[in-house]
Amino acid sequence: MTTHNMEQQSTKRELATFAGGCFWCMVTPFEEQPGIHGIISGYMGGHTANPSYEQVKSGETGHAEVVQITYNPDVFPYERLLKLYWQQIDPTDAGGQFQDRGSQYRTAIFYHNERQKEAAEESRQAIENSGRFMDPIVTEIVEATVFYQAEDYQQDFHKKDPAYYKEDRKQSGRDTFIQEYWK
C-alpha cells in the first residue's frame, strides 16, 4: 500500500445518524471512541424545514432529536456504532425514551446507504433474537432525510453545564435501564 493510499484510508469519513431520546445523552457514549471525528446534535425525520428546538420539543414537526456522527469506518466500523447505539436505548418503547415522552424522543436508525440499512436490520434482528427484551423491538430503521443542526447551546451540552446534565441523566432512568439490560 502506498503512503498516499494509507493517508486516504485513514481520513475516510462516513455519517451515521441515530435517534435515541434526548440527544444530550446520545453524545457521550460515542465521543471518546477511536475513529469518531465529530458528533452534532440535531433533528431529522420530520416535515418542518429549519425547525427550532422549541418546535421539535412541541412534537408538532415530526422530527426526532438525533445525533449525527462523522466517523472513519476503517477505525470504528458501522456495526460497532450500532452495537453501542442499542446499548443506550430502550428499543421497546414507542412513546419516547425514559423521562422524555413523545415522538420527538423516539428511537430510530437513519441509514445513509444500503449497506447501513442491511447492517441496521441485521442488528435489530439480532436484538430481537437475543431474548434480552420481552416486548417487541419498535426502533425504526428509516432512510436518512434532511439533517437540521440544533442550536449552538444544544451542542456538547454535557460540557457546557455538566452538573445539570449529570442530574438530568440520573433522573431520566437511562443509566439504571442500561445497567439492568446491558450489564
pLDDT tens for residues 32-84?
899 999 999 999 999 999 999 999 999 999 999 999 999 999 999 999 999 99
The mean pLDDT of the chain is 93
The structure's pTM equals: 0.92
Catalytic residue, chosen from 14, 16, 17, 22, is: 22
Q: What is the DSSP string of 136-172?
A: PP--EEEE----EEPPGGGTTHHHHSHHHHHHHHHHH
User: What confidence tier does 11 reach under pLDDT thresholds 50, 70, 90?
Assistant: confident
Domains of the chain: 11-182 (3.30.1060.10)
Q: Is 22 a catalytic residue?
A: yes
